[in-house]
Amino acid sequence: MSYAPPTDLSCPSIATSKGGLNLSRIVAGMWRMKEWQLTPQQRVSFIEQCLAMGVSSFDHADIYGGYGVEAVFGEALALQPSLRARMQLVSKCGIKLVDPARPEHTIQHYDTSASHIIASAENSLRQLGTDHLDLLLIHRPDPLMDFDEIAGAFERLRAAGKVKHFGVSNFSRHQFESLNRRIPLATNQVEFSPLHVAPMFDETLDGLQDLGVAPMIWSPLAGGRLFSRDDADGSRVRAAIQQVADEVGRPFGSVVFAWIMQLPSRPLPLTGSSRIQAVAEAVEATQFSLSRSQWFAILRAARGHEVA
């Protein structure tokens, strides 16, 4: 079946928390932005094209690109400051990498102390050239994390107007709920794809649905492995997705994003590509739904067995 991309793509926004945070249904992931080798003006163009499709949320972390992605994104914003009012900036903190940009780090480790959270947030503001983050996440659960200390750091950042909303990433249901009892959390950003369905069955997504909190999803295309994984599991999943794509007349990537977004927890998947066509395919997934039989055909392939 031939395919022509829609010309009127527009990505809806969604409230991810009862606290009033609105993120776009598709979030632009900036993890690899330094690798894209774009000039500052090309970065502006990429951002503008995302915004034109309604992709208004941009996901960062202090460590991305060897502690460099936020700065190159900030360079683009400096060229077109008016863009800031049209977007939501998300960042993460809590990991200390051994990296030339941080010569004082002698071992890779987590740090969710109040002092590190606040210092990281303030540095992200400087790098991005903005006066506030719309959302700040703890990047990974830390065995030494003190929920009360983290909540206190969040409260201080909110009181200072430096961060509007808070969340976590890669937290279990229990870890999320423990911190959420101390301070309202807007999201839990977790890995999920047809090649990694564990959060569907370990209470992560169920717990968020119960609280009315939409998860953010990183690596929805399994880091590209959905297109290239050569073993029996990868081939089986890829064939099932392609069959559905042929049936609905949509791109392979759009079907994957639609499959994820059909979950009742209303996940917000991240893109990770510099190709605006890849972002457009993700946005297209907001325009259609799969039938239950199509949805379960992909799940059956993902798990390698029938549901019963």
Residue 293's contacts (CB-CB under 8 Å, 6 or more residues apart) are none
**Which entry of 3, 64, 67, 110 is annotated as an active-site residue?**
64
- Which residues does residue 11 pair with via DSSP β-bridges, in sequence order? none
Residue with tokens 């209303």: 266
Architecture of domain 13-186: Alpha-Beta Barrel (3.20)
CA-to-CA distance for 159 and 214, rounded, in angstroms?
A: 24
Q: What is the largest CA-CA distance in the chain?
A: 56
* Ramachandran bin of 161, using left for φ above 0, alpha for ψ from -120 to 50, beta for the remaining angles: left
Pairing between β-strand 216-218 and β-strand 188-191 as defined by DSSP bridges: parallel
* 3-state class percentages of the chain: helix first, strand second, coil last, to nearest 5: 45, 15, 35
Residues of the chain below pLDDT 50: 1-3
CA-to-CA distance for 58 and 220, rounded, in angstroms?
A: 16
Strands (E), the chain: 13-15, 22-24, 27-29, 57-59, 88-93, 95-96, 109-110, 133-138, 163-169, 188-191, 216-218, 268-271
Q: Which pLDDT belongs to residue 7?
A: 57
Pairing between β-strand 109-110 and β-strand 95-96 as defined by DSSP bridges: antiparallel
Specify whether 67 is catalytic.
no
CA-to-CA distance for 25 and 46, rounded, in angstroms?
A: 18
Q: Which pLDDT belongs to residue 232?
A: 84
Residue 305's contacts (CB-CB under 8 Å, 6 or more residues apart) are none
CB count in 10 Å sphere of residue 101: 12
Q: Which pLDDT belongs to residue 2?
A: 41
Task: Please state, in angstroms and as integers, the Cα–Cα distance from residue 35 to each residue in 18, 30, 32, 124, following that order.
Answer: 36, 10, 5, 19
- Which residues does residue 36 pair with via DSSP β-bridges, in sequence order? none
Q: Which pLDDT belongs to residue 277?
A: 97
Q: Are 260 and 192 in contact (CB under 8 A)?
A: yes
Pairing between β-strand 109-110 and β-strand 133-138 as defined by DSSP bridges: unpaired
The residue ranges of every structural domain in the chain are: 13-186, 220-303
In 3D, which of 146, 140, 286, 266 has the Cα closest to residue 208? 266
CA dihedral 162→217→220→300, nearest 10 degrees, is 180
Residue 104 DSSP label: T
Residue 15's contacts (CB-CB under 8 Å, 6 or more residues apart) are 21, 22
Residue 274, SS3? Answer: coil
CA-to-CA distance for 110 and 117, rounded, in angstroms?
A: 11
